[in-house]
A and B are shown apart, each in its own frame.
Chain A
Amino acid sequence: MVSNLLILHEAPVLGLQLAIDGLLIGAVFALAAYGMALVWGVANIINVAQGEFVMLGGLVAVYAAEQGAPVLLAVPLAALCLYVLGWILYYTIIVHLVGRDMFNSVLATFGIAIVLQQLMAHVFGGADRIAANGLGSWFLFDGLVAIGKMKVLVFAACIVLGVTLSVFLLRSRQGQAIRAVAQKPEAASVLGIDTKRVYGLTYAVNAAICGAAGALAATAYTIHPYGGLSYTIRSFMIVVVAGLGNLGGVIWAALSLGVAESFAGFIFGAQYQIAFVFTLLVAVLVFRNWRLKRQRRYLA
């Protein structure tokens, strides 16, 4: 650990590389977490199949790329496929979970995750995949810092998608309906909003976001039918840190997590990278609990 810190001290420019890599992967986490926060906030459902949606989006993109489609064109295709899947899953399973105990949603979406894993392995095969983009990298500081062009595109696409979603939620009729249902479903229903449809739309939009995130991730990172868990864990972690309904906070938390993970992996060793995510989660929960206790003491 000390030797790794010394390397960073002697070549601080490597810190820049770590920060850039962290920001770029953080953008992918942000999209997946954004979708999770949306479904959690609106329908009170924790979607444990989040990572599987990401992997499925990635596999669709890889398949499309293998058939000759340009990598970036595969992104809307993956989003569309997942949007349709989102609606199917909503009408077959999720609709029965709305308004019930949150534990039911965890169990049911865990089941969806397992079924999706097996289906993906069956349809696309069990191999690790990557959509080779051939775009190359930009090199700075005498080649010491490399910025993958595709990763920058992924980052830009994630930001554009995030902003589009925010605008959709703020400005469009359907976005307003989603926000209304999130605030008070009974009142929204009285005002003529079809709440069931809104829940379905939210779930399908979440699936589409994950599909896009997966398609973007597949161009720079390895994907696998059983590789979704790490995205689910990180999404959960980010939403817990950012808090529900705080979509700006989700992006901030995701990018910070990406950078923190990158530095932790370098300093403590790659074997502690995931352990670091969990430690951070525990630390945040303990801190939140401590802050809430303090607030309660003031109120009393």
Chain B
Amino acid sequence: MSGKEIRTAAGVSNVSPLRGLLAGIFCVVLIGSAEVALCADNTFIILGAAVSLTGKYALNGANTKNGYDLAVRQINDRGGVKIGGTSYKFEISYYDDESTPARGTELVERLIQQDGVKFILGPYSSGLTKAILPIIERHKVPMVEANGAARELFTKGYRYIFAVLSTSDQYLIPAIDLAAEQADKLGKTPSEIRIAMVMENDPFAQDVRAGVLADARRHSMNCVIDDQLPPELNDMSVTLTKVKALKPDVLVVSGHEKGALTAVNQIEALRVDVPVIALTHCDSAQLAKRLPKASQHVLCAHQWHRSLKHKGDLFGSAEAFAQVFEKTYGYEAPYQAAQSAAAVYVFADAFTRAQSLDPEKVRDAISATDLPTFYGPIKFDETGKNIAKPMILTQIIDGEYVVVSPKKWATAKPVIPRPKH
């Protein structure tokens, strides 16, 4: 892709060689406002993204890309962003990081050094985001990311990372809070509740684990199982046998789509009766659709849901985004796609406010973001985390994800304890 781009004098906008040549001829021959307008129409802001189009994160890499593309299309259809009277359209320069951190770092370096990209959109997963952060910092290139949620991304003092999503420690905290709140339904006090944790051994899931542990400690709950799954594991029966033996009140599982799918399938097969089961990555694993019976009454952590009342300038409401996405790509929008679209929106908003293409000025504008969007409010703290948007918890009821927490957004009461299957 880079070969097709030519750099402008400003060094930030690119046009294809053919289009550039045509535009140049017109600009030279017809000096005046008409030509200026034509040049502007052909001016692009290139955003760079190394996402996982192959490898183990290919599914969510595709969700990320679809979210980015949809937002770019929407912004461009509305005329792009206006900077100093000139309209700029977005274009994304993609590379496939093959779901490996080494390839991710290599490609981001290439985007910045060779392709001259000055603005980066994040990859999928905390691990890949963590790998590319030192490069982003070294080149002082602002990055808005939508799929790296581990807290450790925000504790190293990096200045150029901004994340639209809630951090991963918050994913399953609502489930623990809900269990504490409904402890009497389990015939216990909150401090008598026993938790089993089954987490993948990666930065994201380990941060989910840290969040659960901290919240369990706050409620004086006891953690009886703390198993870590290797990423290659496709069988959870050994751990679930332990769960059966120790009979905890809450079972929390985080292991991307594979973890969610394996857990629910084997919980049903082994008849593991735990009153509260909470997972991450339910909707990207299409749990409710693929295993509707086994996933009944499972709690799921979501960054976003179409039923939320969030509204923004781009796309309008959460439901409107979900409809446009479904119409464009033919499947229901997972939150990974929604937050990816929101990341592009943050860039658009920052360019408009900065009225500049200077990376440093754009970075400052991003850090001052205070934006209501279809995805939820976006406002960054000094570390680059979005502190305005809460996590939500849904429960799968008859094949649908129903929001049950927090109360402000809940559309139904949670079914606790989970009826025996």
The answer to whether A and B belong to the same complex is yes
Binding site for B on A (CB under 8 A): 4, 7, 11, 14, 17-18, 21, 25, 117-118, 121, 125-128, 130, 132, 136-137, 139, 143-144, 146, 148, 151, 220-227, 229-230, 262, 265-266, 269-271, 273-274
User: Quick check: A127 and B59 within 8 Å, CB to CB?
Assistant: yes
Among B57, B59, B238, point to the contact of A125 (Cβ < 8 A). Answer: B59
Contact sample, A vs B, 22 pairs, CB 8 Å cutoff: A14-B244, A21-B235, A125-B58, A126-B56, A126-B61, A126-B62, A128-B59, A132-B265, A143-B271, A146-B271, A220-B269, A221-B235, A226-B55, A226-B56, A227-B234, A265-B239, A269-B227, A270-B230, A270-B233, A270-B239, A271-B227, A273-B238
User: Quick check: A274 and B230 within 8 Å, CB to CB?
Assistant: yes
A136, B266: Cα distance in complex, Å: 10
Query: Smallest distance from the beta carbon of B301 to chain A beta carbons, Å?
Result: 18
Which B residues touch A14, using CB under 8 A?
A: 241, 244-245
For residue B193, CB closer than 8 A to chain A, the reply is: no
A135, B201: Cα distance in complex, Å: 32
User: Quick check: A224 and B258 within 8 Å, CB to CB?
Assistant: yes
A223, B265: Cα distance in complex, Å: 13
* Number of A-B residue pairs with CB-CB distance less than 8 Å in the complex they form: 119
A117, B100: Cα distance in complex, Å: 15
Which A residues touch B58, using CB under 8 A?
A: 121, 125-126, 225-226
Among A4, A137, A148, A270, point to the contact of B228 (Cβ < 8 A). Answer: A270
Among B54, B230, B261, point to the contact of A130 (Cβ < 8 A). Answer: B261
Q: How many residues of B contact A (CB 8 A)?
A: 41
Known contacts A126-B61, A137-B271: A118-B54 contact under CB 8 Å: yes
A223, B242: Cα distance in complex, Å: 23
Closest residue of chain A to B238 (Cβ to Cβ) is A265
Among A227, A266, A274, point to the contact of B241 (Cβ < 8 A). Answer: A266
Which B residues touch A17, using CB under 8 A?
A: 241, 244
Which B residues touch A221, using CB under 8 A?
A: 234-235, 262
Which A residues touch B257, using CB under 8 A?
A: 127-128
Which B residues touch A7, using CB under 8 A?
A: 242, 245-246
Which B residues touch A274, using CB under 8 A?
A: 230, 232-233
Known contacts A137-B271, A222-B262: A230-B228 contact under CB 8 Å: no
Known contacts A130-B290, A226-B55: A271-B229 contact under CB 8 Å: yes
A265, B238: Cα distance in complex, Å: 6
Chain B 205-233 interface residues, beta-carbon cutoff 8 Å to A: 227-230, 232-233
Among A117, A128, A148, A220, point to the contact of B258 (Cβ < 8 A). Answer: A128
User: Quick check: B237 and A21 within 8 Å, CB to CB?
Assistant: yes
Query: Smallest distance from the beta carbon of A25 to chain B beta carbons, Å?
Result: 6
Nearest first, the 10 A-B pairs at minimum CB distance are A126-B58, A265-B238, A271-B228, A126-B59, A222-B234, A128-B258, A146-B270, A222-B262, A148-B269, A230-B232
Which B residues touch A11, using CB under 8 A?
A: 245
Query: Smallest distance from the beta carbon of A133 to chain B beta carbons, Å?
Result: 9
A136, B421: Cα distance in complex, Å: 11
Query: Smallest distance from the beta carbon of A56 to chain B beta carbons, Å?
Result: 15
A226, B59: Cα distance in complex, Å: 12
For residue B415, CB closer than 8 A to chain A, the reply is: no
For residue B286, CB closer than 8 A to chain A, the reply is: yes
For residue B291, CB closer than 8 A to chain A, the reply is: yes
A11, B286: Cα distance in complex, Å: 36
Using A127-B257, A222-B261 as known contacts, list a sample of 8 further A-B pairs with CB atoms less than 8 Å apart, ordered by residue number in A: A7-B246, A17-B241, A130-B265, A139-B271, A262-B238, A269-B228, A270-B239, A273-B233
Which A residues touch B178, using CB under 8 A?
A: none
Closest residue of chain B to A261 (Cβ to Cβ) is B238
Of A128, A229, A273, the most chain B CB neighbours within 10 A belong to A128
